[in-house]
Amino acid sequence: MNGGHDLGGMHGLGPIAPEAEKDEPVFHGTWEKRVFAMTMATGFLRTWNLDESRHARERQHPADYMRNSYYENWLRGLETLLVEKGLVTAEELERGAADPSAGASAVVPLQAGDVETTLLKGGPTDMEIDQHPRFHPGDKVRVVNINPTGHTRLPRYARGKQGVVRNHCGAHVFPDRRALGSREGEHLYRVCFSATELWGEKLNSDFKVHIDLWEPYLAAE
Amino acid sequence: MTEHSHDHTEPPSDLVLKVKALESLLVEKGLVDPAALDALIDTYENKVGPRNGAEVVARAWSDPEYRVWLLEDATAAIASMGFVGRQGEHMTAVENTAQVHNLVVCTLCSCYPWTVLGLPPVWYKSAPYRSRAVSDPRGVLAEFGTELADSVEVQVWDSTSEMRYMVVPERPAGTGGWPIDELIPLVSRNAMIGVEKARTPGSSVDP
């Protein structure tokens, strides 16, 4: 979707003002730690996947997405998924206490003793699929101009642009459909774009941008 | 009012209260175990961080065969050092040279190689960085005090898939023959994102 999260090329957002590397804590405040950990722990319930989680944050009003701090956006996304997936009700969320008439949850929460092995296992997205890759390194491709209202990992700034396939990365779970709950593989390519192609002629210097793009995002040129 | 009037007496913000309420709700519903939350936080505060990536880079600087392996199959080369798991399932290492400077971003969210760098800094997740890394990378580098010769080609990597990128910075001059343990502190987190160069001998900062 063309949401507030799709930021590549936007102007007027101010200086980066990085905190010095040696001074920056991993978290800024206890609440950030708890939001991070609650999001991770509930993610491991497998009630939703990573792209559903991303989409829940992206679906906020763009003004809210951009005004919120990073972990506020995680919190909003988590609240959305908890209610939509029926793990808590909107009333429980509002009250901050469980409805006594609600039955016990059927899910088993992530246990402290399982955290290390669960993290080490990760969640690979590569898949074997029957179709052969349509593109090969060196091929010229053009990104399709689509504006889906659902989740996509095709950034706006790449749409309609011409690039060159640098690598075929195998087949990976296609995020546009994973956000709808299905696990289907599509070939993934690393595509190289020139700065001039992306941003026009009036540039101080040339550079390249590589974007990972799935086959449905690409057309032969 | 005394100068100590704010010590320990600031009321918690609505946000802090809301997060506490959510955690107690999730615990009450049996959806999270607070000890597991503590373990998740401890992992990324104390166990998994940019020291991992610095070890990978220092080894690549010291061991030509490892360097080739890292550039050809980063997932396997990094896994061989024990750095595996969440947000590092599919790794790519890109190397800075005298001709090429690499910069990593995620314009759509905050994708970042957790297994080698830990959790991303605030600026990496911020709108200013995400918007401009792909449209004005030299301007972004200048904000980090990084100047490149005009002849250097900047290559930006937008992490739109589950591929995770790390930059292998150029080995600083004057470090020939240094043992790996002395090279590791030269490899900053920011150098492995690509916004800075590796630290030079004598300028090393405690990480």
Longest dimension (CA), chain B: 67
Put simply, whether A22 touches B (Cβ < 8 Å) is yes
CB–CB contact A112 B33 (8 Å):
yes
pLDDT in tens, chain B (207 residues): 334 444 455 667 999 999 999 999 999 999 999 999 999 999 999 999 999 999 999 999 999 999 999 999 999 999 999 999 999 999 999 999 999 999 999 999 999 999 999 999 999 999 999 999 999 999 999 999 999 999 999 999 999 999 999 999 999 999 999 999 999 999 999 999 999 999 999 875 544
Provide the pLDDT for residue B149. Answer: 94
Put simply, whether B84 touches A (Cβ < 8 Å) is yes
Put simply, whether B72 touches A (Cβ < 8 Å) is no
CB–CB contact B90 A213 (8 Å):
no
Question: Are the beta carbons of A114 and A142 closer than 8 angstroms?
Answer: no
DSSP line for B97-162: -SSEEEEEE-SSS----HHHH-SPPHHHHSHHHHHHTTT-HHHHHHHTT----TTSEEEEEE--SS
Burial (CB count within 10 angstroms: exposed 0-12, middle 13-18, buried 19+), residue B100: middle
Question: Are the beta carbons of A42 and A87 closer than 8 angstroms?
Answer: yes
pLDDT digits (tens, 9 = 90+) for A25-67: 999 999 999 999 999 999 999 999 999 999 999 999 999 999 9
CB–CB contact B19 A96 (8 Å):
no
Provide the pLDDT for residue A201. Answer: 77
- What is the band of A132 on the pLDDT scale with cuts at 50, 70, 90? very high
- For the complex shown, is ipTM > 0.85? yes
Mean pLDDT of A189-213: 90
Question: CA of A93: which chain B residue's CA is closest?
Answer: B22
Provide the pLDDT for residue B163. Answer: 97
All residues at 6 or more sequence positions from A210 whose CB lies less than 8 Å from its CB, including other chains: A166, A190, A191, A192, A193, B155, B156, B157, B158
This prediction has a pTM of 0.95
B202 is written with which tokens?
Answer: 């004598």
Provide the pLDDT for residue A100. Answer: 82
Q: Classify A209 as helix, strand or coil.
A: strand
Put simply, whether A217 touches B (Cβ < 8 Å) is no
pLDDT digits (tens, 9 = 90+) for A71-119: 999 999 999 999 999 999 999 999 988 988 876 677 899 999 999 999 9
Instruction: Give the A:B interface size as CB pairs under 8 Å.
Output: 259
Question: Are the beta carbons of B196 and B167 closer than 8 angstroms?
Answer: no
Provide the pLDDT for residue A207. Answer: 96
- Distance from C-alpha of B40 to C-alpha of B154, rounded to nearest angstrom: 36
- What is the band of A170 on the pLDDT scale with cuts at 50, 70, 90? very high
